Amino acid sequence: MEALQGLAGGFAEALTLTNLFFVLVGVTAGTLVGILPGLGPPATIAILLPLTINLEPATGLIMLAGIYYGAKYGGSTTSILLNIPGESASVVTCLDGYAMARQGRAGPALGIAAIGSFVAGTIGIIGFTFLAPLIAAVAINIGPPEYAGIMVFALTSVVLLAGDSVLKGLLAALAGLLLATVGIDIISGAARYTFGQTEFLDGIEFIALSIGVFAVAEVMINVEQKTGRPIFTVPRRLRELMPTRQDLKQSRFAILQGSVIGFVIGALPGAGSTVASFISYTVQKRISPNRESFGKGAIDGVAAPEAANNSETGGALIPLFSLGIPGSGTTAILLGALILYGLDPGPLLFEENPDIIWPIIASMYLGNVMLLVLNLPLVPVFASVLRIPYHLLYPGILIVCIVGVYSVRNSIFDVVLLAVFGLVGYFMRKLDVPAAPLVLAFVLGPLAERAVRQSLIISQNDWTIFLTRPVAAVFLLLALLLLGGSLVGRGRAARKEVLEVDT
Amino acid sequence: MNSAKMLCTSAVAAVTLLAAGCGSEPTTSGEGDAFEAGPTEFLVHTGPGGGSDVFAREVTALLEKEQLIDPSSWTVRNENGGSGAAAMVYLRGLAGETDTVALSTPTWITTPLTTPEAAVTVDQLTPIARMVTEPMMMAVTADSPYNSLEDFIAAAEAEPGGLVQAGGSVTSVDAISGGILQEETDVKWSYLSFEGGGERITALLSGDADMMFGSPSDFTEQVRAGDLKVIATIGDEAPPLFPDAPTLADSGVDVEVPEQVRGVMGPPDMPEDAVAYYEGLMQDLTETASWEEFTEENGLTTVFAGSEEFGTTLEEQTDLLSSRLESLGLLAQ
């Protein structure tokens, strides 16, 4: 009830003309930032922060929050259209999103991403509004051993994500883990595999790796094929550019489960939207009625990770607003913004500044509606990008890739890496080795490594810590079941194939 | 159609905002001429949103607000590679130039000491001004049995390696300070590295870690809410936010720990008149009311000193850190 009262007060404040305007500015800037690979929400908020400092605290924070969740909407656009994952959370969106685009269904994919994002974003904020104290109390007890369990589960599913060959998937994942070890290890202080290059001290830049193996490799493969036949077909009729009733029906459950998974994982400090989108995709792949079409353009394979990515925001704001603990780069900079506006972010924030916090929450409901209204009409516009003739489209894609990679840390070295990983991705495609396990293992590997080592420091090298902590044990068991189930399933499929060949 | 127009307008607004933030191209003033204040790049070693970056943007905003510089004449430049190494290489490349200054932190000292890949050391650069230090506090959960540093040390003695300190990278100042205290008191506890500040406090609150070193502002709110208590100052002077936290000398461990000094540096061979200009500018800034407010909010202590004294500070800190890193086995060969 208290939450409802607070929310009502928040809406009264958020619905002023000024605040509405700044919600719009925030979500629009967010959408743009999300579409462009490279410059992410933390950077944008940091750059805009000094310019917004003269606004009323609630107004300024409403705008900055808008950038945060607005960017999540835009993230899927380049993944679906051009196979460019602009941020790590959109890697899995590439798999089925781009496959749909190749089938001429870019419109429905973009549409379902927008609708899924809206529903999930709203569910995330509803969760934030009513469950914040409860979730915060749970999240605080999730530590390294629990993360280790979650990461083992996630890495197991990475391998199973591999297309037809588990062996090739495993190879790609191992390559990803190896690449992820490059750089300074914070636990021992050792610089690993840097080959004397200062550029490698911080590790391999994620954007260079992911855009290289996905987008650049894709361009190379397509240019090589040099077929006169168009790779994309874009329907002329507007209706075919939107998701059909059937599409919506197929995605309903995916959006719902993505919303719940994204929200819960978002609330855990240090996990983030990549893990959320990825676990939601895996879950969907296991339970979907049309699981055979996963990786080949399944619409619920787009809906689930996009939903998880957007409801993650609601979850991630819980530790920030109810405890003053930032769980990600973006929430850390938002914490800085709260301090700059003279607030004291901590356990007492809600109690002491309801007049500022509730309008922010209310504005997020409004912002999500605005994002849907902004993004849905843009779907046909974006889908038409694929009508651009190839001799213009491909150089265009490469330019976007290069600018995006360069903008992350103004480094030509990273652009060279982009080219190298483009070649790596090209040969992987030639050898039919899937790229997704490589990129996801690259993201999850360091999280897993750190969590395991941190756990062993806590337990003084006693491995039973992973079994005596219930949450960790449950996830390890799930990983085991997943592995077992999949091996049995594959065995059966193989046997069936043999039988079919025989007859 | 209206919504399209609205979209267009707000897009333009957003882009304008972005462009304004990104700033202008670097310009190079002619060498040999007398120094004239002009467009200046403020170099930081973290990406946008990182600790140093936010601090630098704040300093820039305050300089403008106090009308000490022309509006929009300073822009922040991020060279965020190799824990400071990339920024230092960049700055060394600008030898003799006058239009770039950088924000330095203890990372600028520790990175070249611990990583052989980092080729530039602070003594090759020009010190301009010492700005602030961040006092370091020791915090435990409110219901912890430890009420002082002595309590904790006694418990660590009883259970070698069993207690856990949460913090950042093993080469960060909090880790090194923890190592110094263990060496000095001849006890042993474990150190738990986390990438993010949020994870550290979470580990402390959940009981996975037993204590943590951090700046006053890391703890003020949790202390006010009754979740944590601050039991000691890891330094020689208790900060205004925690005036009652006993210092190291009070706790009977009279040892020098590294300081979290932030200052402003210039490229090698920066002309004297330029150094004098930036030094004066920073001094003027630290004397304003808005600076006082800013440092207070962020739990920072102003320790302004000019070029020469800052240089001495850097030397002292380098000596202290290198001897301690050596005994901790972290010094690069």
- HEC secondary structure over A54-118: CCCHHHHHHHHHHHHHHHHHHHHHHHHHHCCCCCHHHHHHHHHHHHHHHCCCHHHHHHHHHHHHH
CA distance A489 to A491: 5
Which domain does A293 fall in, by range? 2-502
Among A20, A54, A186, A357, the strongest candidate for a mutation testing the B interface, having the largest count of B CBs within 10 A, is A186
If DSSP codes are grouped into helix, strand and coil, which group holds residue A205?
coil
Calculate how close chain B gets to A112, using CA atoms only, in Å.
21
What lies within 8 Å, CB to CB, of B177 at 6+ separation is B136, B213, B234, B257, B258
Question: Which among B57, B82, B161 has the least Cβ separation from residue A198?
Answer: B82
For B221, the closest of A32, A191, A344 (CB atoms) is A344
With contact defined as beta carbons under 8 Å apart, do A308 and A279 qualify?
yes
User: pLDDT per residue over B186-234, tens digit each?
Assistant: 999 999 998 877 888 989 999 999 999 998 888 988 999 999 999 999 9
Could you tell me the pLDDT band of residue A162, with boundaries at 50, 70 and 90?
A: low
Q: Chain B residues with CB inside 8 Å of A408's CB?
A: 47
CA distance A479 to chain B (A): 24
Tens of pLDDT, residue by residue over A402-449, are: 988 888 777 889 999 999 999 999 999 999 898 888 988 998 888 899
Given a cut of 90, whether residue A339 has pLDDT beyond it is: no
Give the pLDDT confidence of A180-216 residue by residue, as tens digits: 999 888 888 888 898 888 888 888 988 899 899 999 9
SS3 B241: coil
In the predicted model, is pLDDT for residue B1 greater than 60?
no
| Cross-chain residue pair A457–B3, CB shorter than 8 Å | no
**Given this model, what pLDDT does residue B329 score?**
85
pLDDT at B10 over 50: no
Amino acid of residue B214? G
CB contact under 8 A, A199 and B10: no
Please check whether residue B331 touches A, CB under 8 A: no
Sign of CA dihedral A149, A151, A155, A161: positive
Q: Give the model's confidence band at B249: pLDDT under 50 very low, under 70 low, under 90 confident, else very high.
A: very high
Tokens found for residue B268: 């090698």
Give the total number of structural domains in chain A: 1
A373 in reach of chain B (CB within 8 A): yes
Q: Stretch A296-311: mean pLDDT, rounded?
A: 94
Among the residue ranges A94-98, A382-386, A454-458, B132-136, the one predicted with the least confidence is A382-386
Query: Residue A3: pLDDT above 80?
Result: yes
Above pLDDT 70, what percent of chain A? Answer: 94
Q: What is the pTM of this model?
A: 0.83
Q: What average pLDDT does range A161-166 have in this prediction?
A: 70
Question: Is the CB of B224 less than 8 angstroms away from the CB of A348?
Answer: yes
At residue A447, what are phi and psi to the nearest 5 degrees? -65, -45
**pLDDT, greater one: A167 or A366:** A366
**Structure-token pair, residue A283:** 């879950």
Which residues, including other chains, have CB under 8 Å from residue B158's CB and lie 6 or more apart?
none
ipTM entry = 0.83
Q: Given B57, B78, B221, which is nearest A345 (Cβ)?
A: B221
Summarize pLDDT for B26-78 with one digit per residue, the tens.
Answer: 444 444 457 788 899 999 998 776 778 888 988 998 999 899 998 889 988 88
Percent of chain A with pLDDT over 90: 41
Q: Which residue of A has its CA nearest to B119?
A: A198
Measured distance CA(B333)–CA(B322) in Å, rounded: 12
In degrees rounded to 5, what are phi and psi of residue A141?
Answer: -95, 5
Does A49 sit within 8 Å of B10, measured CB to CB? no
pLDDT of A307 above 60: yes
* Among the listed residues A471, A121, A142, A127, the one whose alpha carbon sits nearest the alpha carbon of residue A318: A127
Burial label, A391 (beta-carbon count in 10 A; 0-12, 13-18, 19+)? exposed
The CA distance from B225 to B242, in Å, is 15
Provide the pLDDT for residue A368: 95
Segments of B142-198 assigned E as strands: 164-167, 190-193
What pLDDT was estimated at residue A163? 63
Of A325-329, B302-306, B326-330, highest mean pLDDT: B302-306
Residue B27: what pLDDT? 42
Our CA dihedral for A253, A255, A256, A261, rounded to 10 degrees, sits at 120
Q: Would you put residue A188 in left (φ > 0), alpha (ψ -120 to 50) or beta?
A: alpha
Residue A7, token pair as written in the block: 């929310």
Using CA coordinates, name the residue in chain B closest to A459.
B162
Q: Could you count the other beta carbons within 10 Å of the beta carbon of residue B4?
A: 11
Query: How far is Cα A212 from Cα A440, in angstroms, rounded to an integer?
Result: 14
